[in-house]
Structure 1
Amino acid sequence: MYGPELAEFYDKVYEMRGKDYRGESSYVTEMIRSCFPDARSLLDVGCGTGAHLAFFREMFDHTEGIELSEDMLSIARRRLPGAPLHQGDMRAFDLERRFDAIVCLFGSVGHMATQHELEQALTCFARHLPPGGVVAIEPWWFLETYLDGYVSGDVVTPDHRTIARVSHTKREGAGSRMQVHYVIADRDSGARHFTEEYTHRLFTREEYVKALEVAGFTPDYIDGVLGGRGLFLGTRKGEN
Protein backbone atom coordinates (compact mmCIF):
# COMPACT_ATOMS: atom_id res chain seq x y z
CA MET A 1 0.00 0.00 0.00
CA TYR A 2 1.08 3.58 -0.71
CA GLY A 3 3.92 2.44 -2.95
CA PRO A 4 6.28 4.47 -5.17
CA GLU A 5 3.93 4.52 -8.18
CA LEU A 6 1.20 6.28 -6.20
CA ALA A 7 3.42 8.48 -4.02
CA GLU A 8 4.59 10.41 -7.08
CA PHE A 9 1.18 11.94 -7.81
CA TYR A 10 -0.90 11.18 -4.69
CA ASP A 11 -1.47 14.81 -3.69
CA LYS A 12 -2.32 15.99 -7.19
CA VAL A 13 -5.07 13.39 -7.50
CA TYR A 14 -6.69 14.27 -4.17
CA GLU A 15 -6.36 18.02 -4.65
CA MET A 16 -8.02 17.79 -8.05
CA ARG A 17 -10.76 15.62 -6.50
CA GLY A 18 -11.48 18.55 -4.17
CA LYS A 19 -9.37 17.92 -1.06
CA ASP A 20 -8.48 21.23 0.60
CA TYR A 21 -5.30 20.60 2.59
CA ARG A 22 -4.92 24.23 3.65
CA GLY A 23 -8.54 24.56 4.70
CA GLU A 24 -8.46 21.30 6.67
CA SER A 25 -5.22 22.26 8.41
CA SER A 26 -6.66 25.65 9.37
CA TYR A 27 -9.85 24.09 10.70
CA VAL A 28 -8.03 21.45 12.75
CA THR A 29 -5.70 24.12 14.15
CA GLU A 30 -8.72 26.19 15.17
CA MET A 31 -10.23 23.18 16.95
CA ILE A 32 -6.96 22.39 18.72
CA ARG A 33 -6.64 25.96 19.97
CA SER A 34 -10.25 25.96 21.15
CA CYS A 35 -9.06 23.30 23.62
CA PHE A 36 -5.47 24.50 24.16
CA PRO A 37 -5.12 28.19 23.21
CA ASP A 38 -1.36 28.26 23.74
CA ALA A 39 -0.56 25.19 21.61
CA ARG A 40 2.73 25.87 19.82
CA SER A 41 4.05 22.44 18.80
CA LEU A 42 2.43 19.71 16.71
CA LEU A 43 3.16 16.16 15.59
CA ASP A 44 1.42 14.82 12.46
CA VAL A 45 1.08 11.02 12.76
CA GLY A 46 0.58 9.33 9.40
CA CYS A 47 1.81 12.49 7.71
CA GLY A 48 2.05 10.84 4.29
CA THR A 49 3.61 13.17 1.73
CA GLY A 50 3.47 16.12 4.14
CA ALA A 51 0.58 17.93 2.42
CA HIS A 52 -1.14 18.88 5.70
CA LEU A 53 2.16 19.34 7.50
CA ALA A 54 3.25 22.00 4.99
CA PHE A 55 0.41 24.19 6.26
CA PHE A 56 0.69 23.22 9.92
CA ARG A 57 4.25 24.55 9.75
CA GLU A 58 2.78 28.01 9.11
CA MET A 59 0.50 27.74 12.14
CA PHE A 60 2.77 26.24 14.82
CA ASP A 61 6.24 27.19 16.04
CA HIS A 62 7.50 23.59 15.87
CA THR A 63 6.17 20.68 13.82
CA GLU A 64 7.29 17.12 13.13
CA GLY A 65 5.85 14.22 11.16
CA ILE A 66 5.91 10.44 11.38
CA GLU A 67 4.91 8.02 8.61
CA LEU A 68 5.09 4.26 8.08
CA SER A 69 5.49 4.30 4.28
CA GLU A 70 9.05 5.18 3.29
CA ASP A 71 7.85 5.94 -0.27
CA MET A 72 5.41 8.57 1.00
CA LEU A 73 7.97 9.91 3.45
CA SER A 74 10.49 10.45 0.65
CA ILE A 75 8.02 12.84 -1.01
CA ALA A 76 7.51 14.65 2.32
CA ARG A 77 11.26 15.08 2.71
CA ARG A 78 11.50 16.71 -0.72
CA ARG A 79 8.52 18.95 0.04
CA LEU A 80 9.74 19.95 3.53
CA PRO A 81 13.54 20.08 3.45
CA GLY A 82 15.04 20.20 6.92
CA ALA A 83 11.80 19.29 8.68
CA PRO A 84 12.02 16.60 11.39
CA LEU A 85 10.35 13.63 9.69
CA HIS A 86 10.46 10.11 11.09
CA GLN A 87 9.71 6.65 9.76
CA GLY A 88 7.67 4.69 12.26
CA ASP A 89 4.55 2.79 13.30
CA MET A 90 1.83 4.78 15.08
CA ARG A 91 1.33 1.91 17.53
CA ALA A 92 4.87 2.06 18.90
CA PHE A 93 7.13 5.06 18.42
CA ASP A 94 9.20 7.14 20.81
CA LEU A 95 10.41 10.57 19.72
CA GLU A 96 11.72 11.39 23.21
CA ARG A 97 9.76 14.64 23.47
CA ARG A 98 6.24 15.92 23.97
CA PHE A 99 4.06 18.07 21.73
CA ASP A 100 1.16 20.37 22.55
CA ALA A 101 -0.95 18.67 19.89
CA ILE A 102 -0.99 15.49 17.81
CA VAL A 103 -3.04 15.06 14.65
CA CYS A 104 -3.84 11.88 12.71
CA LEU A 105 -5.89 12.71 9.61
CA PHE A 106 -7.41 11.23 6.43
CA GLY A 107 -8.65 8.07 8.17
CA SER A 108 -5.11 6.81 8.82
CA VAL A 109 -6.05 5.50 12.26
CA GLY A 110 -8.51 3.13 10.55
CA HIS A 111 -5.54 0.98 9.54
CA MET A 112 -5.46 -0.32 13.11
CA ALA A 113 -6.74 -3.90 12.78
CA THR A 114 -8.23 -4.40 16.26
CA GLN A 115 -9.56 -2.44 19.22
CA HIS A 116 -6.35 -3.34 21.06
CA GLU A 117 -4.20 -1.84 18.28
CA LEU A 118 -6.33 1.32 18.30
CA GLU A 119 -5.81 1.63 22.05
CA GLN A 120 -2.08 1.00 21.60
CA ALA A 121 -1.83 3.84 19.07
CA LEU A 122 -3.80 6.31 21.16
CA THR A 123 -1.80 5.41 24.27
CA CYS A 124 1.38 6.06 22.29
CA PHE A 125 -0.04 9.45 21.27
CA ALA A 126 -0.83 10.22 24.92
CA ARG A 127 2.79 9.53 25.93
CA HIS A 128 3.85 12.28 23.54
CA LEU A 129 1.46 14.88 25.01
CA PRO A 130 1.55 16.79 28.31
CA PRO A 131 -1.53 16.89 30.53
CA GLY A 132 -3.92 19.24 28.74
CA GLY A 133 -2.40 18.38 25.35
CA VAL A 134 -4.79 17.74 22.48
CA VAL A 135 -5.19 14.93 19.97
CA ALA A 136 -7.22 15.44 16.78
CA ILE A 137 -8.19 12.29 14.89
CA GLU A 138 -10.11 11.94 11.64
CA PRO A 139 -11.58 8.41 11.78
CA TRP A 140 -12.30 6.02 8.97
CA TRP A 141 -16.02 5.46 8.31
CA PHE A 142 -17.94 4.15 11.28
CA LEU A 143 -19.42 0.65 11.10
CA GLU A 144 -22.88 2.17 11.50
CA THR A 145 -22.46 4.60 8.56
CA TYR A 146 -20.34 2.52 6.16
CA LEU A 147 -21.75 2.00 2.64
CA ASP A 148 -20.88 -1.53 1.47
CA GLY A 149 -19.93 -1.83 -2.20
CA TYR A 150 -19.24 1.87 -2.63
CA VAL A 151 -17.77 2.79 -6.04
CA SER A 152 -16.14 6.07 -7.03
CA GLY A 153 -14.35 7.27 -10.14
CA ASP A 154 -12.49 10.36 -11.31
CA VAL A 155 -10.37 11.50 -14.21
CA VAL A 156 -7.91 14.32 -13.53
CA THR A 157 -5.33 16.04 -15.73
CA PRO A 158 -2.42 17.41 -13.67
CA ASP A 159 0.57 18.69 -15.61
CA HIS A 160 1.02 16.76 -18.85
CA ARG A 161 -0.69 13.56 -17.68
CA THR A 162 -4.18 12.14 -17.55
CA ILE A 163 -4.96 10.02 -14.50
CA ALA A 164 -8.05 7.86 -14.08
CA ARG A 165 -8.90 6.58 -10.61
CA VAL A 166 -11.65 4.02 -9.96
CA SER A 167 -12.23 2.49 -6.53
CA HIS A 168 -14.47 -0.19 -5.03
CA THR A 169 -14.84 -0.79 -1.29
CA LYS A 170 -16.43 -3.88 0.20
CA ARG A 171 -17.07 -5.21 3.67
CA GLU A 172 -14.80 -8.02 4.86
CA GLY A 173 -15.54 -9.25 8.35
CA ALA A 174 -15.07 -6.39 10.80
CA GLY A 175 -13.35 -4.22 8.21
CA SER A 176 -13.40 -2.88 4.68
CA ARG A 177 -11.12 -3.56 1.74
CA MET A 178 -10.70 -0.85 -0.87
CA GLN A 179 -9.26 -1.72 -4.26
CA VAL A 180 -8.17 1.26 -6.35
CA HIS A 181 -7.25 1.07 -10.04
CA TYR A 182 -5.11 3.78 -11.60
CA VAL A 183 -4.46 4.37 -15.29
CA ILE A 184 -1.86 7.05 -16.06
CA ALA A 185 -1.25 8.23 -19.61
CA ASP A 186 1.00 10.79 -21.29
CA ARG A 187 2.10 11.36 -24.88
CA ASP A 188 5.64 10.06 -24.37
CA SER A 189 5.08 6.93 -22.27
CA GLY A 190 1.58 5.91 -23.30
CA ALA A 191 -0.73 4.35 -20.71
CA ARG A 192 0.11 2.24 -17.69
CA HIS A 193 -2.07 0.63 -15.05
CA PHE A 194 -1.53 -0.40 -11.45
CA THR A 195 -3.70 -1.34 -8.49
CA GLU A 196 -3.47 -0.58 -4.77
CA GLU A 197 -5.44 -2.16 -1.90
CA TYR A 198 -6.15 -0.68 1.52
CA THR A 199 -7.75 -2.35 4.51
CA HIS A 200 -9.47 -0.43 7.30
CA ARG A 201 -11.18 -1.56 10.47
CA LEU A 202 -14.82 -0.46 10.72
CA PHE A 203 -14.82 0.73 14.32
CA THR A 204 -18.02 2.09 15.77
CA ARG A 205 -18.13 5.63 17.09
CA GLU A 206 -18.37 4.24 20.63
CA GLU A 207 -15.26 2.09 20.08
CA TYR A 208 -13.28 5.23 19.21
CA VAL A 209 -14.62 6.95 22.32
CA LYS A 210 -13.70 3.96 24.48
CA ALA A 211 -10.16 3.80 23.04
CA LEU A 212 -9.64 7.51 23.71
CA GLU A 213 -10.82 7.07 27.29
CA VAL A 214 -8.59 4.02 27.82
CA ALA A 215 -5.62 6.08 26.57
CA GLY A 216 -6.38 8.81 29.12
CA PHE A 217 -8.24 11.38 27.01
CA THR A 218 -11.48 13.27 27.57
CA PRO A 219 -13.05 12.82 24.12
CA ASP A 220 -15.40 14.92 22.01
CA TYR A 221 -16.66 14.37 18.47
CA ILE A 222 -17.54 16.90 15.75
CA ASP A 223 -19.90 15.36 13.21
CA GLY A 224 -19.88 15.91 9.45
CA VAL A 225 -16.58 17.78 9.01
CA LEU A 226 -13.50 16.79 6.95
CA GLY A 227 -15.37 15.22 4.07
CA GLY A 228 -18.07 13.70 6.25
CA ARG A 229 -16.12 11.40 8.55
CA GLY A 230 -15.97 13.94 11.36
CA LEU A 231 -13.23 14.73 13.85
CA PHE A 232 -12.45 13.38 17.31
CA LEU A 233 -10.80 15.75 19.77
CA GLY A 234 -9.27 14.45 22.96
CA THR A 235 -7.67 16.36 25.82
CA ARG A 236 -5.15 14.43 27.84
CA LYS A 237 -6.21 14.15 31.46
CA GLY A 238 -4.01 15.22 34.34
CA GLU A 239 -2.69 18.40 35.89
CA ASN A 240 -0.26 20.66 34.02
Structure 2
Amino acid sequence: MSDGSDRPYSRSAAVYDVIYGTGEFDYPGHAAAVTALIEERNPDAATLLEVGCGTGLFLELLVERFAVSGVDVSAEMLAVAAARLPGVPLHSADMRSFILDDRFDAVVCLFSSLGYMTTEADLRLAVTRMAAHLAPGGVLVVDGWLRPEGVIDGYMGLDSAAGDGVTVARMSFTRLGEGVTDLEMHHLVGRPGAGVDYFVERHRMGVYPDEVYVAALTAAGLEGVTVAPGYRGRGRFAGLLSPGRRPDDGE
Protein backbone atom coordinates (compact mmCIF):
# COMPACT_ATOMS: atom_id res chain seq x y z
CA MET A 1 0.00 0.00 0.00
CA SER A 2 1.31 3.45 -0.92
CA ASP A 3 2.32 5.78 1.90
CA GLY A 4 1.38 8.77 -0.26
CA SER A 5 4.94 9.67 -1.19
CA ASP A 6 4.24 8.70 -4.83
CA ARG A 7 1.17 10.92 -5.25
CA PRO A 8 1.31 13.49 -8.03
CA TYR A 9 3.56 16.49 -7.34
CA SER A 10 4.30 15.54 -3.74
CA ARG A 11 8.02 15.83 -4.53
CA SER A 12 8.21 17.07 -8.11
CA ALA A 13 6.55 20.41 -7.27
CA ALA A 14 9.97 21.69 -6.20
CA VAL A 15 11.42 21.06 -9.68
CA TYR A 16 8.28 21.39 -11.82
CA ASP A 17 9.29 24.79 -13.18
CA VAL A 18 12.73 23.52 -14.17
CA ILE A 19 11.02 21.04 -16.53
CA TYR A 20 8.08 23.09 -17.76
CA GLY A 21 9.68 26.52 -17.70
CA THR A 22 11.79 25.69 -20.75
CA GLY A 23 11.09 26.98 -24.24
CA GLU A 24 9.87 23.58 -25.48
CA PHE A 25 6.62 23.89 -23.53
CA ASP A 26 6.03 27.50 -24.71
CA TYR A 27 3.95 28.84 -21.85
CA PRO A 28 4.07 32.38 -23.34
CA GLY A 29 2.62 31.06 -26.60
CA HIS A 30 -0.20 29.30 -24.76
CA ALA A 31 -0.87 32.42 -22.67
CA ALA A 32 -1.29 34.44 -25.86
CA ALA A 33 -3.54 31.79 -27.44
CA VAL A 34 -5.78 31.47 -24.38
CA THR A 35 -6.03 35.25 -24.01
CA ALA A 36 -7.10 35.47 -27.66
CA LEU A 37 -9.78 32.78 -27.12
CA ILE A 38 -11.16 34.74 -24.18
CA GLU A 39 -11.05 38.13 -25.89
CA GLU A 40 -12.80 36.78 -29.01
CA ARG A 41 -15.80 35.94 -26.83
CA ASN A 42 -15.54 38.60 -24.13
CA PRO A 43 -13.31 41.54 -25.13
CA ASP A 44 -13.90 43.28 -21.80
CA ALA A 45 -12.91 40.30 -19.64
CA ALA A 46 -11.01 41.58 -16.60
CA THR A 47 -10.94 38.72 -14.08
CA LEU A 48 -9.64 35.17 -14.49
CA LEU A 49 -9.57 32.02 -12.37
CA GLU A 50 -7.21 29.16 -13.17
CA VAL A 51 -8.35 25.78 -11.85
CA GLY A 52 -5.36 23.48 -11.45
CA CYS A 53 -3.02 26.47 -11.27
CA GLY A 54 -0.05 24.42 -10.07
CA THR A 55 3.05 26.50 -9.39
CA GLY A 56 1.52 29.65 -10.89
CA LEU A 57 3.83 29.54 -13.90
CA PHE A 58 0.93 30.24 -16.28
CA LEU A 59 -0.87 32.75 -14.04
CA GLU A 60 2.31 34.80 -13.82
CA LEU A 61 2.06 35.45 -17.56
CA LEU A 62 -1.51 36.78 -17.23
CA VAL A 63 -1.25 39.12 -14.24
CA GLU A 64 -0.77 42.21 -16.40
CA ARG A 65 -3.89 41.43 -18.47
CA PHE A 66 -6.28 40.06 -15.82
CA ALA A 67 -6.90 40.18 -12.10
CA VAL A 68 -6.07 36.53 -11.47
CA SER A 69 -6.88 33.87 -8.87
CA GLY A 70 -6.00 30.19 -8.64
CA VAL A 71 -7.26 26.88 -7.30
CA ASP A 72 -5.27 23.68 -6.85
CA VAL A 73 -5.57 20.50 -4.80
CA SER A 74 -1.80 20.11 -4.26
CA ALA A 75 -0.43 21.89 -1.19
CA GLU A 76 3.10 21.51 -2.54
CA MET A 77 2.26 23.19 -5.84
CA LEU A 78 0.34 25.99 -4.11
CA ALA A 79 3.32 26.71 -1.87
CA VAL A 80 5.45 27.38 -4.95
CA ALA A 81 2.67 29.50 -6.49
CA ALA A 82 2.29 31.58 -3.32
CA ALA A 83 6.00 32.40 -3.34
CA ARG A 84 5.84 33.36 -7.02
CA LEU A 85 2.62 35.40 -6.83
CA PRO A 86 2.42 37.29 -3.52
CA GLY A 87 -0.96 38.90 -3.07
CA VAL A 88 -2.73 36.70 -5.64
CA PRO A 89 -5.70 34.80 -4.13
CA LEU A 90 -4.88 31.08 -4.16
CA HIS A 91 -7.28 28.44 -2.87
CA SER A 92 -6.69 24.83 -1.83
CA ALA A 93 -9.62 22.80 -3.15
CA ASP A 94 -10.75 19.90 -5.31
CA MET A 95 -11.99 20.99 -8.75
CA ARG A 96 -15.07 18.79 -8.33
CA SER A 97 -16.34 20.61 -5.26
CA PHE A 98 -14.73 24.05 -4.89
CA ILE A 99 -16.94 27.00 -3.97
CA LEU A 100 -15.59 30.56 -4.07
CA ASP A 101 -17.42 33.79 -3.33
CA ASP A 102 -16.34 35.49 -6.55
CA ARG A 103 -17.47 35.08 -10.15
CA PHE A 104 -15.01 35.56 -13.01
CA ASP A 105 -15.03 36.78 -16.60
CA ALA A 106 -12.89 33.77 -17.54
CA VAL A 107 -12.21 30.39 -15.95
CA VAL A 108 -9.45 28.21 -17.40
CA CYS A 109 -8.22 24.68 -16.67
CA LEU A 110 -5.20 23.97 -18.83
CA PHE A 111 -2.36 21.58 -19.63
CA SER A 112 -4.50 18.47 -19.07
CA SER A 113 -5.29 19.15 -15.40
CA LEU A 114 -8.85 18.06 -16.19
CA GLY A 115 -7.46 14.65 -17.12
CA TYR A 116 -7.22 13.79 -13.42
CA MET A 117 -10.98 13.29 -13.57
CA THR A 118 -11.01 9.54 -14.24
CA THR A 119 -14.76 9.08 -14.72
CA GLU A 120 -17.17 10.97 -16.94
CA ALA A 121 -19.25 11.78 -13.86
CA ASP A 122 -16.27 13.46 -12.18
CA LEU A 123 -15.42 15.28 -15.40
CA ARG A 124 -18.94 16.71 -15.56
CA LEU A 125 -18.81 17.67 -11.88
CA ALA A 126 -15.57 19.58 -12.39
CA VAL A 127 -16.79 21.39 -15.51
CA THR A 128 -20.06 22.28 -13.76
CA ARG A 129 -18.12 23.76 -10.82
CA MET A 130 -16.00 25.83 -13.20
CA ALA A 131 -19.05 27.10 -15.10
CA ALA A 132 -20.72 27.99 -11.79
CA HIS A 133 -17.89 30.47 -11.17
CA LEU A 134 -18.42 32.37 -14.41
CA ALA A 135 -19.99 35.80 -14.48
CA PRO A 136 -22.69 36.26 -17.16
CA GLY A 137 -20.89 36.51 -20.49
CA GLY A 138 -17.92 34.64 -19.04
CA VAL A 139 -15.68 32.25 -20.97
CA LEU A 140 -14.58 28.76 -19.95
CA VAL A 141 -11.44 27.27 -21.56
CA VAL A 142 -10.30 23.73 -20.71
CA ASP A 143 -7.63 21.41 -22.09
CA GLY A 144 -8.22 17.69 -22.39
CA TRP A 145 -5.82 14.83 -21.79
CA LEU A 146 -4.85 12.36 -24.51
CA ARG A 147 -7.56 11.17 -26.87
CA PRO A 148 -8.15 7.39 -26.98
CA GLU A 149 -6.52 7.10 -30.40
CA GLY A 150 -3.48 9.01 -29.14
CA VAL A 151 -2.55 6.64 -26.30
CA ILE A 152 0.31 4.20 -26.91
CA ASP A 153 0.24 1.41 -24.36
CA GLY A 154 3.75 0.93 -22.99
CA TYR A 155 4.95 4.31 -24.24
CA MET A 156 8.11 5.69 -22.65
CA GLY A 157 8.98 9.38 -22.71
CA LEU A 158 11.97 11.36 -21.53
CA ASP A 159 12.27 15.02 -20.55
CA SER A 160 15.38 16.66 -19.19
CA ALA A 161 16.19 20.22 -18.21
CA ALA A 162 18.52 22.28 -16.05
CA GLY A 163 18.08 25.56 -14.21
CA ASP A 164 18.30 27.22 -10.80
CA GLY A 165 21.24 24.99 -9.92
CA VAL A 166 19.23 21.81 -10.52
CA THR A 167 19.35 19.20 -13.29
CA VAL A 168 16.26 17.05 -13.78
CA ALA A 169 15.70 13.95 -15.90
CA ARG A 170 12.18 12.50 -15.98
CA MET A 171 11.21 9.25 -17.66
CA SER A 172 7.55 8.34 -18.00
CA PHE A 173 6.02 4.92 -18.58
CA THR A 174 2.38 4.70 -19.70
CA ARG A 175 -0.09 1.86 -19.37
CA LEU A 176 -3.57 2.00 -20.92
CA GLY A 177 -6.39 0.66 -18.77
CA GLU A 178 -10.17 0.74 -19.10
CA GLY A 179 -10.71 4.38 -20.04
CA VAL A 180 -7.63 5.54 -18.12
CA THR A 181 -3.89 5.88 -18.48
CA ASP A 182 -1.60 5.00 -15.59
CA LEU A 183 1.69 6.88 -15.73
CA GLU A 184 4.79 6.23 -13.69
CA MET A 185 7.03 9.30 -13.60
CA HIS A 186 10.60 8.42 -12.61
CA HIS A 187 12.67 11.45 -11.58
CA LEU A 188 16.40 11.97 -11.17
CA VAL A 189 17.18 15.31 -9.55
CA GLY A 190 20.80 16.39 -9.28
CA ARG A 191 22.15 19.28 -7.24
CA PRO A 192 25.85 20.20 -7.21
CA GLY A 193 27.40 19.27 -3.90
CA ALA A 194 24.28 17.41 -2.78
CA GLY A 195 24.19 14.45 -5.14
CA VAL A 196 21.30 12.85 -7.01
CA ASP A 197 17.84 12.15 -5.64
CA TYR A 198 15.49 9.56 -7.17
CA PHE A 199 11.74 9.28 -6.72
CA VAL A 200 8.62 8.04 -8.52
CA GLU A 201 5.19 9.65 -8.77
CA ARG A 202 2.11 7.95 -10.19
CA HIS A 203 -0.62 9.66 -12.19
CA ARG A 204 -3.96 8.17 -13.26
CA MET A 205 -5.68 10.15 -16.03
CA GLY A 206 -9.05 9.74 -17.75
CA VAL A 207 -9.06 9.17 -21.52
CA TYR A 208 -12.01 10.66 -23.42
CA PRO A 209 -12.91 11.54 -27.00
CA ASP A 210 -13.60 15.19 -27.82
CA GLU A 211 -17.36 14.73 -27.72
CA VAL A 212 -17.27 13.91 -23.99
CA TYR A 213 -15.65 17.27 -23.21
CA VAL A 214 -18.02 19.11 -25.55
CA ALA A 215 -21.02 17.42 -23.91
CA ALA A 216 -19.75 18.36 -20.44
CA LEU A 217 -19.39 22.04 -21.36
CA THR A 218 -22.77 22.09 -23.07
CA ALA A 219 -24.50 20.40 -20.11
CA ALA A 220 -22.94 23.03 -17.82
CA GLY A 221 -24.70 25.79 -19.75
CA LEU A 222 -21.95 26.90 -22.13
CA GLU A 223 -22.83 27.99 -25.66
CA GLY A 224 -20.90 27.91 -28.93
CA VAL A 225 -18.43 25.29 -27.71
CA THR A 226 -15.38 25.04 -29.97
CA VAL A 227 -12.41 22.68 -30.19
CA ALA A 228 -8.92 23.82 -31.17
CA PRO A 229 -5.41 22.38 -30.82
CA GLY A 230 -4.07 22.96 -27.33
CA TYR A 231 -1.07 21.80 -25.35
CA ARG A 232 0.91 19.24 -27.37
CA GLY A 233 -1.96 19.01 -29.85
CA ARG A 234 -4.54 17.89 -27.30
CA GLY A 235 -8.02 19.36 -27.49
CA ARG A 236 -8.63 22.87 -26.15
CA PHE A 237 -12.35 23.47 -25.57
CA ALA A 238 -13.96 26.88 -25.12
CA GLY A 239 -17.52 28.01 -24.48
CA LEU A 240 -19.44 31.13 -23.48
CA LEU A 241 -21.97 31.61 -20.70
CA SER A 242 -24.75 33.67 -22.25
CA PRO A 243 -24.84 37.23 -20.82
CA GLY A 244 -28.44 36.65 -19.77
CA ARG A 245 -27.88 33.30 -18.09
CA ARG A 246 -26.59 32.01 -14.79
CA PRO A 247 -25.60 28.33 -14.60
CA ASP A 248 -26.99 25.98 -11.98
CA ASP A 249 -24.44 26.23 -9.17
CA GLY A 250 -25.09 22.68 -8.06
CA GLU A 251 -24.39 23.76 -4.49
Q: TM over 0.5: same fold? A: yes
Q: Give the residue type in structure 2 aligned to 1:192.
A: D
CA distance in 1 between partners of 2:126 and 2:166 (Å): 38
1:37 paired residue among 33, 43, 58: 43
Residue pair 1:162, 1:186 contacting (<8 A) in 2 also: yes
> Quick check: 2:143–2:230 contact (8 Å CA) kept in 1?
no
Q: Which amino acid aligns with 2:82?
A: R
Q: Distance in 2 between matches of 1:175 and 1:79?
A: 33
Quick check: 1:49 aligned with 2:55?
yes
Once the two structures are superposed, the pairs formed by residues 5-24 of structure 1 within 5 Å of their partners are 5-16=11-22, 18-24=24-30
Q: Which residue of 1 aligns with 2:72?
A: 67
TM-score (norm 2): 0.90
| Aligned-pair identity (%) | 38
Instruction: Find the counterpart in structure 1 of residue 161 from structure 2.
Output: 156
Contact 1:150 1:170 (C-alpha < 8 Å) held by counterparts:
yes
Aligned with residue 199 of structure 1, among 196, 199, 204: 204
2:224 is the counterpart of 1:215? no
Where structure 1 has 5 or more consecutive residues not aligned to the other structure, the ranges are none
Post-superposition offset of 1:144: 3.0
Match of 1:185 among 184, 190, 194: 190
SS at match of 1:212: helix
Decide which of 216, 224, 227 is 2:229's aligned counterpart. 224
Runs of 4+, deviation exceeding 3 Å: none
Deviation (angstroms), 1:238: 5.5
Q: Which sections of structure 2, spanning at least 5 residues, go unmatched?
A: 1-6, 246-251
Report the alpha carbon displacement of residue 161 of structure 1 after superposing the two structures with TM. Answer: 2.8
After TM superposition, the score normalised by the length of structure 1 is: 0.94
Please give the root-mean-square deviation of Cα atoms over the aligned residues, in Å: 1.6
SS in 2 for 1:50: coil
* 1:77 corresponds to 2:46: no
Deviation at 1:4, TM superposition (A): 4.2
